[in-house]
Structure 1
Amino acid sequence: MKHLCIRDSLVLILLSVLTFYLTNSFGNDAKPSVCFYYHDNVPFELYQMCDWLVVDPRNKNVYKKERAKLIAYISIGEVSKNSEEYKEINKSWIIGENKDWNTVVLDITNPAYQKFLLKKLSRYKNYDGFFFDTIDSYQSVLKDTDKRERYERALIGFIKSVKEIYPSKKIVLNRGFEIIDKVKDYVDGVVAESLFYGLDLKNGGYREVSEEERKWLLSKLNEVKSYEINVIVIDYLPPKERKKAFQTAKKIEKLGFIPYITNKEINIIGTSFFQIKPRRALILYDKRSCPEIVSCGQHYMAQLILEFYGYIPYMKEINTELPPLDTPLVDKYGAIVVWPGVHLVKNPKKFYNWILTRIKEGNKILFVDDFGFPLTEEYLKPLGINVEPNKANNDNFKIIFKDKHLGFESEPFVDFGDVAIYPKGKKSKPLLILENDKGQKTVPIALTDWGGYGLYGASTYTRFNNTMWVVDPLFFFKKAFKINNYPMPDETTLSGNRILYIHIDGDGFIQRLDYNLKKFSSEVVRDDFIKKYKWPHSVSIIEGEIAPWGAYPKYPHKKLENIARSIFSLPNVEPASHSFSHPFKWEAVLTSIKIKKGYSLIIKGYDHFDINREILGSLKYINTRLAPPNKKAKLFFWTGDCNPPWQVLKLCYENEILNLNAGDTGISYKEPFLSLVSPMGVNKKEYFQVYASFQNENYYTNNWKPPYYRYRNVIQAFELTDKKWRFKPINVYYHFYVVSKYASLKSLKDVY
């Protein structure tokens, strides 16, 4: 399978191609890339791309054993007065204050304080190393030479003792130039800040470092480098200054140092020997218009296009799940789609302020169907859009310009509206211009310097329950998000060829053929398809169908299990489970509801759902009774409504079980609309459910009703998703019972 359920493997799939996303890269002579992130929820990109990753272990969701070596941030010389740790500090350890940072300076010569520090280090012994910050803070409060020398001797002794206790751990210092010659054999790196750009502590911003400061710092860094110690330079720039950050990193690298360019809060994916092209995309939707994500147009239509361009989409509810303003997004998200539906957001001013902040930060934003806030001068003028009331007393207007990219699946279906809006930015490009009887012009869809917008009827239009793109979405998204022709991950293609995968749901394994009652459907699938076509097949069974203790005690279970064994033993077959009792409604699996008809197979002695029994138990049954010793089933195909709650996906992740099914790709020549092509899957909290690429015969026969030959219509979907653009791999997906009727058997042969 191309998509994985387990967290590590999914991240690796997404990041195995991330190295292609680099804007540029430059040689580093095998020096480690060293990154820093001091807030909660460290981005997964840093765990994969950095060799050493310095995090604050007191924060949430920072400890993850991935590729990077994790280095715990430890402040040696200072502690913030606002921190919980300050409450543990004995006042006798304090030797001064740093008013710029509202901290107290601490005395490393005090044995009690050293004991306190060592105890703190022991809490982080699972980390790969320690980054000792503020080790030179004593210089601001100790003016007496003897006291300084005493402090430095204590600091040297402390560093040596840490190395003796933890000999395999990396030790990295922030500066420490006064003692480096005494500890050079005990440390693995030295950090210095602000070689070209630093922090303006007085005004709270950023500043360029003077030539005099840089000259002094370079002399110190070159001395450290002469000891063959890794020298790491952290410079500070605003998150939107990505080009300058990359140029600065190159300058630092050319001096022989390890660069890391970040923001003043140290909460972005910074620039090291690489600069990651942001590959996440944010889709903002309103739950009032989209109560269930899996049936939501925003999920299908926006996510499909973003995935086509190699983005990893995340859907967030616009009223309750906006990312906080104090966390930059421009380093992580290459696209923000606002698709609110028919409602204004609940707090337009708060949301509008969020939008302005993101635009100022450098994010590209695309509004689809509506803005989510009123079309008034107060809101639109700061976006570079002029607004004036419609002066005409009628609904008459004419189209005076229509871009060639409109009329994609539907012609525009627009009104002039109560107000005329017109983008005035230098880089704005109207895609449709209407003019009323008074000569006023309005632009319902346009590209702008910050992204773009399209009002309903100009971006999409819904008719006969089908939502259609008025504008070519591939053009619209590419231009709005300034997408260049860089390499992108593509789950549809391998070595230039369209990927094919085949998976079979276990339903009907025990069904006899209408045209030959002596044979089971599973035998025909085995002999006429899996053996004949040597392509890889992922084949599942329902334990409750074929096991002796299942729902059909009178069936010949010994023969059925032997058929399953013969299938799983084939070299081109991957064994999978389709559950124990085939739940029809996965939400019910989490409840203590008593099982009754319509919820699953009725199995004697199994009265209440158990997710462990459905998933882990059914896989154990396959692995202990059916699969050969050299094959282990670790793949689960969702059953019934194929809509498992996040808690069920969590079970898959925790047990490294792959998952597949759901998605309703039903595009056809009769309804050739991209809204009928499903995306790759859906996020449910931090877990990802993988969709099947195409639908099975049950969908095409309208829940297994005649005429039964209609599964062959999936070929139309194969063709339509590979015409001008390739949106999907080929996925032959069916149930065993498809071969039980002659017409449907013929349709499956046509598909193969």
Structure 2
Amino acid sequence: MARTVPTEPHGAGWPAALRIGVLALAALLLASPAAQAQPVARTVLALYDGGIEASPVETRIHRYAEFPLNHLGYTLEYRDIRALPPRPVLPTEVELARYAGVLTWYSTPPATRKTYLDWARTTLRAARRLIVLGSPGGAFWTDEVVAVDAILGRIGLRHGHRAVALTLGAVAQARMRSATHFEGPPDPVLPPFEVVEAVRPDVEPWLAIGLPPREGGGRSLTVAVSDRGGYAATGYEIAEDPASGRARWLVDPFAFFARALRTQPWPVPDVTTLSGRRIFFSHVESEGLNHVVLTKTREPMLVAQLFRDAVVARYPDLPATFALTPGDLDPALGGNETPREVVRTIWSYPQVEPSIASYTRPYRWGFFADYDRTREEELVADARAPGRFSLRWLTDYISPDSRASRYVAKSREYPRNYLLRPFDLTEETRTALSAATQLAPESKPIRLYQWTGDANPSEEQIAATRRIGLLNMNGGESRLDHRYPSITHLLPLARPVGSQRQIYAAGADEIPLARAWRPAVEALRAAATTAANTGAPRRLKGQNLHYHLASIGNPQALHLIQKSLEAARAAPVIPIRASDYAAMADDFFDLTVTALAPDLWSVAHRGAVQTLRLDEAEGVQIDLARSRGVLGQSRHAGSLYIALDDAVEVAEVALSREMTSGPAISLHDSRWRVRRLERNATAWRFEAEGYGEGAFAWDGVAPGRYRIAAERAGALLWTAEAQPDASGRLAFTVPVTGIEPLHLTIARRLESAEGTP
């Protein structure tokens, strides 16, 4: 914010020395970082045509563009261009200033577009950046061309007032082939295109089309970027196959959106990484809780018991979040009380986090957004014909259990699992939480609500989970495997639903709903492939193992689940609870980054997000001397990952483009979460907690021998000595449990400091 320096008329009566002092102080204030502070605009305004894409979730922006934009640190705000008061209207020039940019992706000019085009012609010039994917939004052969030129002109382009429908003889001229053939080349037969030309010299033509002689020659830009935004024509940004439900990016969305939205990189919030390592979490739903399997000795066993013995007890070093649907234990609905104590035992394991997954297990949440009990009863009657000789009413009268069983879904034939009582949102949320809390240890309050079935809740259903203080997660079905080998099938962090937000799981579960049918075994294999493909070369997602108890009864599926857990045990990951990830994804939207000076940022409102990422970071490192609340740094695929200390409310991150002189103790990575770091040249201490043994690696450690001590509540639990390698990295493993926080101290031995052998 500009500040006014007192001028001569206001201080004419002051002594000269005082006036000089005031002016010097004012100049100093203006030069201070606080005076230069500029919040980084992280929100992109996404405009869509509700006449074609009925809701934000159905837009191509949400399905394809929001994921790479989240990866780059941006959030999206959706507005339907048809919206009229009292619904949100298109923003004013002043309101536009708060957005990082405006994004549109119309497949064709909107059917109702006059209001939008009038607004664009007069107001869009105030946008920081503009990204146009597909159609500019108007018909160039009408008087709408004035608005079309205004839209494209914001980027530095102009419409040629013509189109090429027959592209035979047209030649693609790719200036940046890697950026315009990202997941494969476009169709050999070029799609039709509207002729677009550059009118400013700084426009970068990533892909141009040489027009055939019959079209008068010349060229048209189909992919271009500038300091004011970007443009990618229909058919040149993405290739879709509606028949298979698959798609692939032609433009590199990471490079395209980064160039179109910012001039210089800035440290973006990252929810894939914690303490320098990729996160791993596992969450399980209780569907199948009452199933029975046979052991190798042909003895019957509850699937819940098999889960307890083959997964929970076998992997005490890996957290698992286990969600109960209390209806499974409610005989009045058709459930079974038998596994109650098994659930209590599972939740008592130190590494297991309790959570809930509704009360009656809805499979189709949309059915209950506008609930009709009569319709639900009709579905039951249609699915279960009256018994022979019309005696169903008699058996219901004699045995209430028989009636209850008719209202229990076999497989997923009904909109929910237990239908005996009318649907009640309070029962699905507050009652479910109360019932589950009675089985959970007092030391483990329930934090997470896991959506069941299609995981497609309404705004009110999501709000109901928020009102009882729970995070929520599931849905999305992100995949990157041999059947879906494109990042277009990776979903963003969350699903916007009115004023609410549903956090997507990081990976797909083993029960497909929206994707092509596949058995659970194949789905688990695909999930493992997705986990590998989203970890390298670019780290796109945390590693997420998500399944239902019913799959545990399949020996092959159980083997694959155990195989995934073995891989996580051996991998350089940091295991966390599912609720921790849900909190990170939730807090991503509120985090603020403020530029204080060149290469200096403050980061506030982080919540559970404790990692920043700087892309294109070769030759850049953290300046620990000027930073505050920074634990350390690590690198992956050309990006710099910055670990923050959650004990410091507002962190400050300073970068250096020169090698710092002398060692600076810095966390490289850890399998445990690190906080409250205190350090000097020869010693440092911190608090840590996590699962399994605590593996740590610290950089910038001076030569010598160091004593490492771990204690809890003043009691020494473990001590050892170690020394750094030639690069100054000190690595060690603490062989004690860290589920309860420990305090670790690493101090250089006195004889080492004095040079004594």
Range class of TM-score, shorter chain: 0.5 to 0.7
Q: Does 1:195 align with 2:4?
A: yes
- 2:372 is matched with which residue? 593
Match of 2:223, SS state, is strand
Among 314, 318, 322, the alignment partner of 2:77 is: 314
Amino acid across the alignment from 1:410: G
Q: Does the Cα contact within 8 Å between 1:335 and 1:363 map onto a contact in 2?
A: yes
Aligned counterpart, 1:335: 101
Which residue pairs with 2:550 in the alignment? Answer: 737
* 2:247 counterpart of 1:473: no
Partner of 1:427: helix, strand, or coil? coil
Helix, strand or coil for the counterpart of 2:38?
coil
Distance 1:567-1:483 versus aligned 2 partners, 3 A rule: farther
> What corresponds to 1:551 in structure 2?
334
Contact 1:665 1:677 in 2 (8 A): yes
Distance 2:515 2:497 in 1: 28
CA distance in 1 between counterparts of 2:167 and 2:542 reads 46
Residue 499 of structure 1 aligns to a residue in which SS? strand
Picking from 421, 446, 453, the partner of 2:224 is 446
Partner of 2:577: none
- Equivalents in 1 of 2:548, 2:44: separation in Å? 35
Contact in 2 for aligned 1:664/1:678 (Cα 8 Å): yes
Equivalent position to 2:347, from 540, 543, 568: 568
1:426 aligned partner: 201
How much has 1:324 moved relative to structure 2? 4.0
From 125, 130, 133, give the equivalent of 1:368.
133
Cα separation, partners in 2 of 1:496 and 1:358, compared to 1, 3 Å: farther
Question: Would you say the 8 A contact 1:709–1:743 is kept in 2?
Answer: no
State how 1:198-597 maps to structure 2 within 5 Å. Answer: 211-212=7-8, 215=11, 254-255=28-29, 274-320=37-83, 324-326=90-92, 328-329=94-95, 331-344=97-110, 346-348=112-114, 350-356=115-121, 359-375=124-140, 377-382=145-150, 383=153, 384-388=156-160, 395-399=167-171, 401-402=173-174, 403-404=176-177, 405-413=179-187, 415=190, 417=192, 419-435=194-210, 436-437=212-213, 438-463=216-241, 464-482=244-262, 484-513=264-293, 516=298, 518-533=300-315, 534-552=317-335, 555=336, 557=337, 559-594=338-373, 595-596=376-377, 597=380
CA–CA distance in structure 2, aligned partners of residues 684 and 703 of structure 1: 25
Residue-pair matches, total: 504
Q: Which amino acid aligns with 1:580?
A: Y
Moved more, 646-655 or 507-516: 507-516
Deviations 1:169-219 (Å, cap 9, x if unpaired)? xxxxxxxxxxxxxxxxxxxxxxxx9726xxxxxxxxxxxxx9446657999
- Secondary structure at the counterpart of residue 339 of structure 2: helix
Mapped to 1, the partners of 2:37 and 2:219 lie a distance apart of: 46
Partner SS state of residue 529, structure 1: helix
- TM-score for the superposition, normalised by structure 1: 0.61
Query: Partners of 1:650 and 1:549 in 2: how far apart?
Result: 28
* 1:469 CA drift (Å): 1.0
Code of the residue aligned with 1:434 in structure 2: it is I
Alignment CA distance shift 1:400-1:507 (3 Å):
closer
What amino acid does structure 2 have at the position aligned with 1:566? T
Aligned counterparts of 2:12 and 2:372: Cα–Cα separation in 1:
73
What are structure 2's unaligned runs of at least 5 residues? 381-413, 566-757
Question: Which of residues 511, 527, 533 in structure 2 aligns to 1:720?
Answer: 533
SS in 2 for 1:693: coil
Change (3 A) 1:510 1:485: same
8 Å Cα contact 1:667/1:677 also seen in 2: yes
Q: Which residue identity is paired with 2:78?
A: M
Provide the secondary structure at the position in 2 that maps to 1:294.
Answer: helix
SS in 1 for 2:100: strand
Conserved 8 A contact 2:472-2:502: yes
The change in CA–CA distance for 1:499 and 1:372 in structure 2 (over 3 A counts) is same
Structure 1, 353-362 or 714-723: larger mean CA deviation: 353-362
Partner secondary structure for residue 339 of structure 1? strand
1:483 CA displacement: 5.1
**Bigger strand share:** 2
- CA shift, 1:519, in A, is 0.9
Change (3 A) 1:676 1:704: closer
Structure 2 Cα separation of the partners of residues 588 and 422 of structure 1: 49
- Please, what TM-score do these two structures have when normalized by structure 2? 0.61
| Kept in 1: contact 2:480–2:530 (CA 8 A) | yes
Moved more, 323-332 or 636-645: 323-332
**Which of 1 and 2 has greater Rg?**
1
Amino acid at match of 1:551: G
Paired position in structure 1 for 2:462: 649
Structure 1 residues 418 and 368, CA gap change in structure 2 (3 angstroms): closer
Q: Distance in 2 between matches of 1:278 and 1:358?
A: 19
Q: Which digits, 9 at most, give the CA deviation of each residue in 1:671-717, with x for residues without a partner?
A: 21111111111122222110111111112998986574541221111
Query: 1:140-165: CA deviations, max 9, x gaps?
Result: xxxxxxxxxxxxxxxxxxxxxxxxxx
Q: Which whole-Å CA distance do the structure 1 matches of 2:46 and 2:13 have between them?
A: 45
> Secondary structure at the residue paired with 2:39?
coil
Unaligned ranges ≥5, structure 1:
1-34, 36-192, 197-209, 227-247, 260-270
1:356 Cα deviation (Å)? 4.9
Tell me how far apart the structure 2 counterparts of residues 303 and 700 of structure 1 sit (CA, whole Å): 22
Residues 471 and 645 (structure 1 numbering): CA distance in 2 closer, same or farther, change over 3 Å?
same
How far is the alpha carbon of 1:512 from its aligned partner?
1.1
**1:231-290 Cα shifts (integer Å, max 9, x gaps):** xxxxxxxxxxxxxxxxx9x9858359999xxxxxxxxxxx86732111112222222332
* CA–CA distance in structure 2, aligned partners of residues 536 and 666 of structure 1: 23
Partners of 2:42 and 2:74 within 8 A in 1: yes
How many percent of aligned residue pairs carry the same amino acid? Answer: 21
- Is the 1:682–1:689 Cα contact (8 Å) retained in structure 2? yes
**Whole-angstrom CA distance in 1 between matches of 2:300 and 2:354:** 25
Question: Contact 2:193–2:233 (CA<8 Å) still a contact in 1?
Answer: no
Aligned equivalent of 1:102? none
Aligned to 1:14: none
2:169 partner amino acid: F
Cα distance, 1:640 vs structure 2: 1.7
